[in-house]
Structure 1
Amino acid sequence: MATFPLVDMEKLNTEERTATMEIIKDACENWGFFELVNHGISIELMDKVERLTKEHYEKFMDPTFKEMDASKCLESAQAEINDLDWETTFFLRHLPVSDISEIPHLDEDYRKAMREFALQLEKLAEQLLDLLCENLGLEKGYLKKVFYGSKGPNFGTKVSNYPLCPKPELIKGLRAHTDAGGIILLFQDDKVSGLELLKDDQWIDVPPMRHSIVVNLGDQLEVITNGKYKSVMHRVIARTDGTRMSIASFYNPGNDAIISPAPSLVKEYETNQVYPKFVFEDYMKLYAGLKFQAKEPRFEAMKAVESNLNLDPIATV
Structure 2
Amino acid sequence: MEILMIDLSELGGENMSKTMAILHHACEKWGCFKIKNHGVDPELMEKVKRFVNTHYEENLKASFYVSETAKCLEHANNTTLDLDWEWPFFLWHCLKSNIEDFPNLSNDFAEKLSELICENLGLDKDHINRAFSGRNGPSVGMKVAKYLECPYTETVGVPRTHRCSICVNTGDQLEVVSNGQYKSVLHHVMVEKNGSRLSVATLYNPMDDAIILPTTKLPYPEKYAFGDYFHAATKFQGKEPRLESMRKLMGNGCSGVA
Alignment TM class, shorter chain as reference: 0.7 to 0.9
Cα distance in structure 2, aligned partners of 1:144 and 1:42: 23
Q: Which one-letter code corresponds to 2:191 in the other structure? A: A
1:118 is aligned, of 82, 99, 103, to 103
Task: Find out whether 1:248 has 2:201 as its counterpart.
Answer: yes
Residue aligned with 1:129, SS: helix
Residue aligned with 2:116, SS: helix
Cα distance in structure 2, aligned partners of 1:91 and 1:208: 25
Q: Percent identity?
A: 42
Task: Find out whether 1:232 has 2:188 as its counterpart.
Answer: no
Cα distance in structure 1, aligned partners of 2:3 and 2:155: 28
Q: Which one-letter code corresponds to 2:201 in the other structure? A: A
2:52 maps to 53
Does the aligned pair in 2 maintain the 1:86–1:162 contact within 8 Å? yes
Cα distance in structure 1, aligned partners of 2:76 and 2:201: 29
Q: How many residues align?
A: 228
Q: Which one-letter code corresponds to 1:17 in the other structure? A: M
How far apart are 1:44 and its partner, in Å?
1.3
Distance 1:91 1:12, change over 3 A: farther
Distance 1:270 1:89, change over 3 A: closer
Does the aligned pair in 2 maintain the 1:45–1:113 contact within 8 Å? no
Q: Which one-letter code corresponds to 1:67 in the other structure? A: V
- After superposition, residues 57-68 of structure 1 pair within 5 angstroms as 57-68=56-67
How far apart are 1:40 and its partner, in Å?
0.6
Does the aligned pair in 1 maintain the 2:172–2:183 contact within 8 Å? yes
Does the aligned pair in 2 maintain the 1:91–1:157 contact within 8 Å? no
- After superposition, residues 212-223 of structure 1 pair within 5 angstroms as 212-223=165-176
Does the aligned pair in 1 maintain the 2:140–2:205 contact within 8 Å? yes
How far apart are 1:151 and its partner, in Å?
3.0
1:181 maps to none
Q: Which one-letter code corresponds to 1:291 in the other structure? A: K
2:151 maps to 166
Task: Find out whether 1:8 has 2:7 as its counterpart.
Answer: yes
Does the aligned pair in 2 maintain the 1:9–1:39 contact within 8 Å? yes
Q: Which one-letter code corresponds to 1:141 in the other structure? A: D
1:134 maps to 119
Does the aligned pair in 2 maintain the 1:33–1:216 contact within 8 Å? yes
Does the aligned pair in 1 maintain the 2:129–2:137 contact within 8 Å? no
- List per-residue Cα deviations over 1:11-50 (Å, max 9, x = no partner): 1111211111111001001111111111111111111111
Does the aligned pair in 2 maintain the 1:91–1:156 contact within 8 Å? no
Does the aligned pair in 1 maintain the 2:31–2:182 contact within 8 Å? yes
- Normalised by the length of structure 1, the TM-score is 0.68
2:71 maps to 72
Q: Could you tell me which runs of 5 or more consecutive residues in structure 1 were left unpaired when the two chains were aligned.
A: 93-99, 173-194, 196-204, 273-286, 294-317
How far apart are 1:290 and its partner, in Å?
6.3
Cα distance in structure 1, aligned partners of 2:32 and 2:13: 23
Cα distance in structure 2, aligned partners of 1:233 and 1:155: 21
Cα distance in structure 2, aligned partners of 1:23 and 1:231: 17
Flag the structure with more relative contact order, 1 or 2, with Cα contacts below 8 A and sequence separation at least 6: 2
- After superposition, residues 1-317 of structure 1 pair within 5 angstroms as 3-78=2-77, 79-82=79-82, 84-91=83-90, 100-101=92-93, 106=95, 111-172=96-157, 195=158, 205=159, 207-266=160-219, 271=222, 291-292=239-240
Cα distance in structure 2, aligned partners of 1:260 and 1:271: 18
Aligned-pair Cα RMSD in Å: 2.0
Residue aligned with 1:36, SS: strand
Residue aligned with 2:99, SS: helix
Q: Which one-letter code corresponds to 2:52 in the other structure? A: T
How far apart are 1:210 and its partner, in Å?
0.7
More strand by share: 1
How far apart are 1:292 and its partner, in Å?
4.5
Cα distance in structure 2, aligned partners of 1:121 and 1:234: 20
